[in-house]
Amino acid sequence: MTKVFDNEIRAVDGISFTVDEGEILGFLGPNGAGKTTTLNMLATLLRPTSGTATVNVHDILAEPDAVRRSIGYVFQDPTLDLELTGRENLDFHGRLYSLKRDVRRQRIEEMLELVQLTDRADDLVKTYSGGMKRRLEIARGLLHHPQVLFLDEPTLGLDPQTRRSIWEHIQRLNQDKNITIILTTHYTEEADYLCDRILIIDFGKIVALDTPDNLKARLEGDIVSLAFKDPAKMVKIRPLLEEKDWIRRISVVASDNSHATMSHMMQMMRGMSGGVGMGGMMPGMDSGNVRGGGKMPQRMRQMLAQSMGGEDDQRGLEGGSKRLNLLVDDGGHRIPEIVKLADASEVVLESVELHKPTLDDVFLSVTGRNIRDEQGSFMETVRRHRIIRQARGHRVRG
Amino acid sequence: MVQPLSGQAIYVVLLRELKRYWRAKARIISSMAQSFFFLAIFGLGLGGFLGGFGGIDYLSYLAPGVIGMGLLFGSVFSGVSVIFDRQFGFMKEMLVAPVSRTSIVLGKILGGAMTASIQGVILMIVAGLMGAFTPTPALVVGALSAVGVMLLITAGFVGLGVAIGSVLSDFHAFQLLATFVMWPLFMLSGVFFPIEVAPFPLQVVMLFDPLFYGVELLRWCLLGAGTLILGPFGWLIAVGVLVGFAAVMVGIGAYLFSRAQV
């Protein structure tokens, strides 16, 4: 399947995959990678530019209504009616899917029970917390007993506890009702915890598709992560490390505060895509010089770095620091050698960590970018998002 | 692409409109109060100065127009609320369901027409209590016909609202809409003064205002045949214009809604 917006942005670029019945498949990728666009095509909300797909044996182009009947879709942005109660939201949904009165009532009770909202069912949704709303949306997506459930960023913006409880709900649904689940996320730990298989998508292309364990096994060796007292001096040790043949890859990653940075960016993006065009703010952004998969022009990178308060995207995020991650064979035994190198180049190490490769590392190795470190591609992402959002509208199918 | 209509879908969207209307008490009260102020201040104040037109006192003359105002604002607003549905995401919930967009938009328009007409009925009762209408047996028939007229008027204007709401991307343009569409429609509808006292160019403009025919009909229903300006068969012309307007606006609204962005 391919989706091109405005003859320019290849939001989804020739992807092809199969999902088994009862499987949980996760789309992992940064914002603007094409995850939501793919889901929207599968849900018959968008028509693919080329290609097609079959959902629960129904073709998305030939039998959109049959597809819609067999899927549940929990959208990324909230889609509840806040002026109605939880029960009324479910009731509305049940009626739209032509459930008979008795069936409807019984299932509403069942679903409320499942997501533990029974005692708040008759309160207006506007009084719900974020996690409760999310749970209600999941309940609603399940009300008509879909065979396939699409979850677009199911835990975006939720606190860790709520996230954990939603994960448990999702797993239980999958196990108890054998529902096939396709979810999108840009949290690697979410993909790791929930998914049977993970599809890593970047700039509209599938770059990897495998089980979490197999993906991690691709990176043989260990990750040795170095933090420095003065991150600016990182450059002094780097050439020395690059000479060593037992270091298979070196990458700079943002340390601990990456989450905060990410949510800050998400907020910025929300604000920007909601009506205020980037054109006025960033001259040159609208000239169409970014093609799918292309690199961000240097000028934009500089402007971005300035606007973010940093001088260069290779040096410190605001208030955070960078680490150097080394992919090393037999990492434990190499640490003393690395420390010696640091001493020799008069760089003071603050800490050294050793860990097995995580999905973050996998993502970095297959895309060349850190999934958390969205700064490098931030402007491009915003732009893609904006174009996709605008373009989506004109082609949405009825 | 011709899409099948689903009665169930139309009904459920309509039901939602009614529920939401009923919950938005502040909106109901403020629009009632606004109409009441118009009646009380203009009707009694300006009426004391003007006396009346053609044997009807000013309050009575004004009342159908003020009801028309409530209908106009209520229905355009409820049509334009498709913007909110889009902004708060609920639109997606409706669009991903296995029902046609035409069913959804028809439910929306019917619901909007009903809520705005309920508002109109309340205003009619308020005006009646203030003594705007002479209580006769004919008034009962008149009031019932007036309800039908209200549904006709509002269907057209909800259609207009849906059309505008489908084109506007956000709510900021609403102020412009109020200033350049709703207020002129209201003031040109012969609410405050009869068309014959206006200079000729203004009369021509007024004849292009669909609400003018709506107010004419309401006046005819509630005050009697003597008030018709368009001649003895004026009511037929007015009904024709309103039916045509409703059909065209519902059509345009449904069309624009079907191809609007999510």
Domain ranges of chain A: 3-215, 219-379
The dihedral over CA atoms of A244, A245, A248, A250, expressed in degrees to the nearest 10, equals 20
pLDDT digits (tens, 9 = 90+) for A132-166: 998 899 899 989 989 999 999 988 878 888 888 88
Q: Which of A60-64, A231-235, B94-98, B249-253 has the lowest mean pLDDT?
A: A231-235
pLDDT level of residue B227 (50, 70, 90 thresholds): low
Beta-ladder partners of A184:
A27, A152
At residue A384 the predicted structure's pLDDT band, cuts being 50, 70 and 90, is low
Per-residue pLDDT for B177 more than 50? yes
Reported as a pLDDT band with limits 50, 70 and 90, residue A391 is low
B1 pLDDT exceeds 50?
Answer: no
Give residue-wise pLDDT tens across range B118-138: 999 999 999 999 888 888 888
Task: Name the pLDDT band for A386 (thresholds 50, 70, 90).
Answer: low
3-class state of residue A119 by DSSP:
helix
**The one-letter amino acid at B47:** G
Judged against a pLDDT cut of 70, whether residue B28 lies above it is answered with yes
Q: Which pLDDT does position A6 carry in this prediction?
A: 78
Q: Is the pLDDT confidence value at B115 over 90?
A: yes
Q: Which residues of A touch B15 (CB under 8 A)?
A: 92, 95
Q: Report d(CA A176, CA B195) in Å as an integer.
A: 71
Q: Say what the pLDDT of residue A299 is.
A: 43
DSSP annotation of A46: B
State the average pLDDT over residues B208-214.
95
Q: Which of A257-266, B71-80, B231-240 has the least mean pLDDT? A: A257-266
- pLDDT band of B201, cuts 50, 70, 90: very high
Q: Are strands A180-185 and A24-28 parallel, antiparallel or unpaired?
A: parallel
Return the half-sphere exposure (C-beta side, CA atoms, 13 A cut-off) of residue A234: 20
Q: Which CATH superfamily is domain A3-215 in?
A: P-loop containing nucleotide triphosphate hydrolases (3.40.50.300)
Angstrom distance (rounded) from CA A174 to CA A117: 20
d(CA A143, CA A177): 12
Residue of B nearest to A88 (CA): B16
Query: Which residue is listed with tokens 């968008």?
Result: A46
C-alpha distances out from residue A150 to A39, A43, A56, A382, B128, Å: 7, 8, 13, 24, 55
Chain B CB contacts of A44 under 8 Å are 96
- Amino acid letter, A232: A
* Residues 6+ positions from B231 with CB-CB distance below 8 Å: none
Q: Give me the mean pLDDT over the B62-85 stretch.
A: 92
Quick check: B162 and B109 in contact, CB under 8 A?
yes
Q: Report which of A296, A361, A356, A359 is spatially closest to residue A323, judged by C-alpha positions.
A: A361
Those residues whose C-beta lies under 8 Å from the C-beta of residue B163, and which sit 6 or more positions away, are B79, B249, B252, B253, B256, B257
Separation in Å, CA of A57 to nearest CA in chain B: 16
Q: Report yes or no: A342 and A237 within 8 Å, Cβ to Cβ.
A: yes
> Quick one: DSSP state of residue A124?
B
Range in A204-213, A227-236, A373-382, B150-159 the model is least confident about: A373-382
pLDDT at B144: 95
Q: Which residues of B213-232 are buried (b: 16+ CB within 10 A; e: fewer)?
A: bbbbbbbbbbbbeebbebee
Q: Does A88 touch chain B (CB under 8 A)?
A: yes
pLDDT top residue among B132 and A319: B132
Helix and strand numbers, DSSP H then E, in chain A: 14, 14
Average pLDDT, integer, range A328-334: 81
How far is residue A380's CA from residue A377's CA, in Å, rounded to a whole number? 5
Closest to B12 (Cα-Cα) out of B114, B117, B104, B109: B104
Q: How many CA atoms lie within 13 A of B84 on its CB side?
A: 14
Residue A262 has pLDDT above 60, yes or no: no
Q: Which two tokens mark A12?
A: 């989804």
Q: Which residue has the higher pLDDT, A72 or A242?
A: A72
Task: Name which of A217-221, A382-386, B175-179 the model is least confident about.
Answer: A382-386
C-alpha to C-alpha distance for B148 and B232, rounded to whole angstroms: 20
Task: Specify the range with the lowest mean pLDDT, choosing from A228-237, A277-286, B104-113.
Answer: A277-286
What CA–CA distance (Å, rounded) separates A317 from A308? 8
Which chain B residues are closer than 8 Å to A83 by Cβ? 19-20, 23-24
Per-residue pLDDT, A46: 87
User: Can you tell me the mean pLDDT for A227-241?
Assistant: 81
Which residues lie below 8 Å from residue A292, measured CB to CB, with a gap of 6+?
A9, A10, A11, A13, A203, A204
pLDDT band at B262 (very low <50, low <70, confident <90, very high): low
Average of pLDDT values for A168-185? 89
- DSSP tally for chain B: helices H, then strands E: 13, 2
- List chain A residues with CB under 8 Å of B6: 98
Q: What is the ipTM of this complex?
A: 0.84
Who has greater pLDDT, A366 or B141? B141
Give the Cα-Cα-Cα angle A333, A339, A342 (nearest 5 degrees).
Answer: 145
At A191-207, the pLDDT tens digits run 999 999 999 988 888 98
Question: Token pair for residue A46?
Answer: 């968008």
Determine how β-strand A322-328 pairs with β-strand A222-228: antiparallel
Least confident of A18-27, A240-249, B151-160: A240-249
Site from B96, B255, B258 to mutate, A interface, most A CB atoms within 10 angstroms: B96
Model confidence pLDDT, tens digit, residues A93-104: 999 998 999 999
Cα torsion A311, A317, A318, A319: sign: negative
Of B12, B23, B96, the CB nearest to A92: B12
Burial A166-178 (b: 16+ CB within 10 A, else e): bbebbeebbeeee
Kindly give, in sequence order, each residue whose CB lies less than 8 Å from that of residue A242, ignoring residues fewer than 6 positions away: A250
Q: Which residue has the tokens 């624009």?
A: B256
Cβ-nearest to B88 among A82, A98, A394 = A82
Amino acid identity at B182: M
Is the pLDDT assigned to residue A226 strictly greater than 60?
Answer: yes
Helix axes A130-142, A86-96, angle to 10 degrees: 20
**Which residue in the set B19, B93, B98 is minimally distant from A79, CB to CB?**
B93
Give how far A43 is from chain B: nearest CA, Å. 7
A74 pLDDT higher than 60: yes
pLDDT tens digits, residue range A273-305?
333 333 333 333 333 333 333 344 444 444 444
Joined tokens for residue A268:
């910025």
| pLDDT for res A373 | 55
A122 reaches B (C-beta below 8 A)? no
Nearest to A378 by CA among A280, A325, A310: A310
Query: Residue A317 carries which side chain, given as an amino acid letter?
Result: L
pLDDT for position A3? 87
Query: What's the rounded Cα separation, in Å, for the pair B170 and B86?
Result: 9
Predicted confidence band at B13 (pLDDT cuts at 50, 70, 90)?
very high
Residue of A nearest to B107 (CA): A96
Average pLDDT over residues B23-42: 87
Higher per-residue pLDDT: B225 or B164: B164
Asked whether the beta carbons of A150 and A73 are under 8 A apart, the reply is: yes
Contact between A382 and A269 under an 8 Å Cβ cutoff? The reply is yes
Q: Does the CB of A396 have a partner CB in chain B at under 8 Å?
A: yes
Count A/B contacts: CB-CB distance under 8 Å: 91
d(CA A137, CA A124): 14
**Pairing state between β A3-5 and A71-74:** unpaired
CB contact under 8 Å between B262 and A98, yes or no, is no
Reported in sequence order, the residue ranges of chain A that DSSP labels E, i.e. its strands, are: 3-5, 9-12, 24-28, 54-55, 58-59, 71-74, 148-152, 180-185, 197-202, 205-210, 222-228, 247-254, 322-328, 349-355
